[in-house]
Structure 1
Amino acid sequence: MTTQTVLPVEAEQLKQLSAKRGEPAWLTDSRSKALQLAAELELPKLEKTRIDRWDLTNYGKLDETRGANPQQLPESVQTLVELTEQSNLLVQRNADTVFTRLAPELASQGVIFTDLETAVREHGDLVKAHLHSVVKPDENRLSALHAALWNGGVFLYIPKNVVIDQPLQSIFLLDDAEAAFAPHVLVIADTNSRVTYVDNYISVNLKGNIVHNGAAEVIIKPGAKVQFATVHHLGEQATDMTYRRAVVENDGSIEWIIGEMNSGDSASETLSILKGNGSSSDAKVIAVGSGKQRLNYTTKAVHFGKSSASQMITRAVIREEATAIINGITKIEKGATKADGQQTEKVLMLSPKARGDANPILLIDEDDVTAGHAASVGQVNPEQIYYLMSRGISRADAERLVIYGFLAPVVSDIPLEQLQKQLQGLVERKLGQ
């Protein structure tokens, strides 16, 4: 039996909206075809998770007349802006860009850092060549809806041989449950370039449920190196569905640093496609679940290139009645000789009703490779708690120390001090609820 898919917008309405925004014909056509696919495709199939039971009904409304006042940003966002006031920064509120700063010396080197809608108008050929090339519209209903309805987002292009020492940062703020929230991040690192990109997804004062259906695509040319750090701390009214993917060419590298700190139901896939010889991927993921959250996080590396290497580490802390499915998938294709894929997933449960599941998966189609995995799910060790309490530490502080020790192998490896402090603060906030 099939059920009819109710789309959040009609086809003619989407075409008219695209035209009012002044979008080029190729983008209008792309959106229209994706909307048609959304009516035909099923929801994605997630490991041990029935997302058809999640609230995926409200994607918000698209509006061609958007506007916001940067002076009205909430205090939490203002604080982040102040922390990064010397940095290259883009801030969006409900998909409307309210603040942009790019150092003149970077602009003079050809670096492009702007919202994606502006990039479509000013750098159309570059965007058209890569948009939806990694997260494809025809994969499932969510990817199709994203391709049809994306709004806001970031375009970052680093020219050949340009090395950027300072991070480029974005903040995506959602405080209107009636506004569509589907930013698309597109990063293109040309040959032998280097960059660190950091973004934050924040919601405040939502007066209704909404779905964040987002995507990030990272194109890494030969010899380029990209650090991609992202922290999601959307409120319980927001259901977070995110695809992050990178394609890495010869001797290129991607380093993912991910903080999954949402308060609502959340699912994400972080995938590195190691296309080139000598390509590499390193993924570090921290997740904290509380209340009655349902979480499903997948980290994946697919090896095509010879002597390619992937490393993924996920640490999840689950409390109260939250449930989490943590998946690690390493796929080594035929011909990817000398590839090395390693992964570790660990889940720490803090209450009898919390439930966690770690699923390490190795799919090997080549003989001359190295691969390994480790996974564990367990409760806080009472002997560790008793030992700390015997030294005069309260039970609450002892448990907190054990949790921080559990997360430390990931947090201490994060190369950005500001991001380390932010993640520590968010962990403390979630564990202190």
Structure 2
Amino acid sequence: MEVKLNVRRIAFEIINKVEFGKSYSDDLINKYVDKFEDKRDFNLLRKIVLGVLERKYTLEYIISMYSKTKLKKIDPKILIIMKIAVYQMIFLTSIPDHASINEAVNHSKKLTKWNLSGYVNGVLRNISRNKAEISKLIDSTKDLEIKYNINAGIVEYIKENYNDDFDSLLDSLYNELPFSIRINENMMNSNEVFEELQSLGMNPKNSDITNINMLIQNPESVHNTKLYREGIISIQGEGSTLAVQVLDPRPGSKVLDLCAAPGTKSLLIAEYLKDSGIIIANDIDISKHKKIVQNFNRIKFSNYELCGFDASIYQPEMKEEFDYVLVDAPCSALGLIARKPEIRYRRSMETIRELRDLQRAILINAVKYLKPNGVLVYSTCTYGYLENEQQADFIENELNMEKSYFDYKGNSLNRIQLFNSKDNTDGFFIARFIKP
């Protein structure tokens, strides 16, 4: 007899792996897409995991107010159990408090050699009795780390960069973003794809950012559709798609995707080339090459080579070899917080400065790989001048590249920043240059 999966126990396992490992929540959650008989259970799992991770500091603050044991001395696994329960009680009110508390108490009995169920029960019941007061405290707190659940240094950095839109930007990072797919127009036109997605109950909506993305609902089964299997659609964010549209590689050209994993941009570049050019897809993490190959195979594209060199180390054999180079640089990924909430507390200003230096080393090499009149596009999925505007200025002023302009909604731009708050999509920076 098949055992019914326990949503909260699975949520606990995922959160534990994310908080005490290097895993990302979306990768772990997606392993359960087809595991539940009732889709509502999968949706609840996703909501709990993402909610607990995005409210980490707030939840720990609440527990600290009602626990006689200091946070640092609470068994880490017990603390996760309590955070799951508190999240449900404070932020997911459709679930009765007693159900959340009972599940936490029963789980705690099985988890450690110490019987901490009485402690868990006492703390959670006390929190349940004081929910109204807790909500007022959270709403009125002046502690920005607790309010926004982001490393304090990063909060100040974002405020420094976007002071006028500071609150709306950080508030928007709690919003669930729409799920984006991208169309391979070499295989089917947008209208036909739209109708097919409608018939599958995915309620498509055309993107406001690109002309080949659509936003869909009920995306859990998208991988199983004929559209996906045959390469007609791919899962790709609007900013990621826009970066390749800004690159705009011509058929017959030679293109280098210098930091290619997971390969969605390489895939779109391949669709631009139409089997009459070549793309070199490079990523130092060779374990990710399999996914890149799978993507190329889906669209039956063979004009590619895979490389696994360190992009920050110069490859002399590549000097002036390429018509186009895309540097979608390793970055702090602050623009992905709404999808990967663990980024909120995995990043620091020290991390950002280290990434800035790595990005510059990569850019110095990227320019050398371009032919004269070759095009460079630099992109990140983050916010802040250190990784974005300052790097674009570095490309122009220190690497002697010329600004190159692209059209975006009727405006001629050299660079663009997309925002969660204004554009309802991932934070993404893109800049275009040409080699004189």
For Structure 1 versus Structure 2, the TM-score category normalised by the shorter chain is under 0.3
Query: What is the TM-score with the length of structure 2 in the denominator?
Result: 0.24
* Greater helix proportion: 2
* Greater strand proportion: 1
Structure number with bigger Rg: 2
Q: Which has the higher contact order (CA 8 A, sep 6+)?
A: 2
Query: What is the TM-score with the length of structure 1 in the denominator?
Result: 0.24
